[in-house]
Amino acid sequence: MKFRVLWIEDDARFGLAQLAGPVYVHGGYDLVVAGDVSTAIARLFRERFDAVIVDIRLPPGDDSEWRKLYHKAGYDKIHARLGLHLLGSLIRPSEARVRLKRPPPAWLKPQLIGVFTVESRKEIGEELEQLGIQVYEQKRADLPDTVLLQIIEMVLDQQGVPANDTVR
């Protein structure tokens, strides 16, 4: 059975094809992509995933609460950092800026989450630590095409699932 992976990424900077290709070819993962926060939340409430990879610079999507937050940040993905707020709402809902309409899915633990973003560890490391998220990779120009696959494997590794290294 394939592992189910949700990649929350609006693909503004990095080529989806370039990074998703190795994941599809690997064959072990069923990759689902959500392009904004609202779509991602809808997906997370609907389905269970084995790994969730989150970008920090995300558009809000349709949900009015998230749009409001985005609006307050001046319609700017860089300053809004909705990915971090999303993680807060999912992992520490009591302290979150945006309350989800229902309690976050019980299966979603920090160990299932990886962050793949432009922000450096210096910028968001503290927040990630508070949320208990260990897997982090910064988007840089020198990354291999298999970086997404590697992040997925790191997330699964931390859950005790042996990584399939046939592609690496």
Beta carbon nearer to another protein, 31 or 124 = 31
3-state SS assignment for residue 34: strand
Please report, for residues 47, 68, 148, the alpha-carbon distance to residue 117 in angstroms, rounded to integers and kept in the order given. Answer: 24, 23, 11
* Residue carrying structure tokens 């997906």: 43
Task: Name the minimum Å distance from CB 30 to another protein.
Answer: 4
Detail the DSSP E strand segments found in 123-168: 135-138
**Tokens (6 digits) for 124:** 């968001």
Beta carbon nearer to another protein, 21 or 110 = 21
Task: Name the minimum Å distance from CB 136 to another protein.
Answer: 25
Beta carbon nearer to another protein, 29 or 136 = 29
Task: Name the minimum Å distance from CB 130 to another protein.
Answer: 32
Instruction: Give the interface with another protein as residue ranges (CB under 8 A).
Output: 1-2, 11, 16-17, 20-21, 24-25, 27, 29-33, 35, 39, 42, 46-47
Fill in the DSSP letter of residue 160. Answer: T
